[in-house]
Amino acid sequence: MGDVMGPELFQRRLDAWPDFSLESFFIALDGGGRIVGATAPWNTHRFKRTRVLGYYGPMLRMKRAFNLGAKVLRYPPLPEPGECLDFAFLSHLEVKDDDPAVLRDLLRATYRALAQDRLHFISAMIPRGSTLEAAFKGFVVNRTAMTVYSVALPESPFAARDFTTLHPGFEMALS
């Protein structure tokens, strides 16, 4: 779902994305110092926001329970109608051999680093059925069902390409 980026395109993107830089990346290394995983949390609040219009039905009860937990455990309550959610996307997420232990380490490091930001949540693209799902055990998880389609003109070189993958990525533009 994202571009293959050479150094020039990557630098242009870094220049264009507010609050995103090389320092945004979390890198996991194995015992030999080799990179085995990476992610870069990105909060788009400076240019794109998700505003809550209201809570209805079961979500209203869930909000009450969530906010009670927020008081006890000292995390931010859900926003009131009219307010915005504050969250980060785990962009550029890649884990060698889909090792959930590596992703779990990245999640813990990200969570600790962003704790002072008091975000409502962190969003990650982990397809159903991926071995990486195991990394989220113990975290509160809410799945968002989605289907991604590829559309191409019949004469396009992409018309016959199969984009089926368990590694779709989380392109910055989709955030």
pLDDT at 95: 94
Element at 88 (helix H, strand E): strand 87-95
- Report the Cα 167 to chain-centroid distance in Å: 13
pLDDT of residue 11: 87
User: Is 156 a member of any domain?
Assistant: yes
* Among 106, 117, 115, 127, CA closest to 37: 106
- Determine the pLDDT at residue 16: 84
Token pair belonging to 167: 């590694």
Q: What is the pLDDT of residues 10-37, one digit of tens each?
A: 888 888 888 888 899 999 999 999 999 9
Q: How high is the mean pLDDT in each 10-residue block of the chain (175 residues)?
A: 72 84 94 96 87 94 92 92 93 92 96 91 87 92 77 86 67 52
Residue 59 belongs to a domain: no
Domain that holds residue 34: 7-45+86-174
Instruction: Judge whether 81 lies within some domain.
Output: no
Token pair of 114, please?
């962003």
pLDDT value for 61: 92
For the chain, the domain total comes to 1
CATH number at residue 14: 3.40.630.30
Determine, yes or no, domain membership for 170: yes
At residue 165, the pLDDT reads 66
- For residue 17, CA distances in Å to 27, 65, 82 come to 20, 36, 26
| Residue 164 · residue 127 · CB < 8 Å | no
